[in-house]
Structure 1
Amino acid sequence: MRRPWTMKELQFLKENHNLMSNKELAKALDRTVGSVANQKVKNGLTKRNIYEVVKGYEVLATGTVEECAEQTGLSVSTIRFYTTPAHRRRSVDLDKAILVHRVDDT
């Protein structure tokens, strides 16, 4: 049965989301891992992946999947497909193929 999140629980989540795993947060809050993950998304506490769209040596776009789609005029699903190993295997001429790579901001 669903139990509403209290302000105290949400505050704990906001203060500790970078310090603890979802599993640890779930145990501390007596919640399921899925519930913790959903609340992190709802409250904007998840890290957004940044991608780079390239064609040959030219960078066409950089940003989230949605931002890259908007900048290139491609659909979000196409950008996501371009990140897959299947697309990389099909791309014979890498100078002409559009590829999408995740950028690690470490």
Structure 2
Amino acid sequence: MTTPSSTASIILNLGEFIDALAALRRGRVIVVMDAETRDCVLDGARLMSAFRPLHDYGLIAEYDNPAGFEGLRYYRMTGIGKQFADNALAVWQARAWHERLAMRLRC
């Protein structure tokens, strides 16, 4: 597991981060096309900023995907990530719809 450092990532786009947690919790995987630029997709959508905090906080981990394409890297949610996602998604859903909308529009 990766431990956050003193320069740990911050969550730049809360809406994207929550959507990523939900998709990963449903069993989806992140596909990284370019490890250097971290150009990646999750469930058909490009991740702009969520990959780094997910990775840096140990919520996802790379795994070997023999059925995958050569040169691509695959990440799925860790056990700690599942626990975190369950809590974060419950807190998110407990917020009023207009608060969730305001947070999404702010980012």
- For normalisation by structure 2, the TM-score amounts to 0.27
Q: Which has the higher contact order (CA 8 A, sep 6+)?
A: 2
- Taking structure 1 as the reference length, the TM-score comes to 0.27
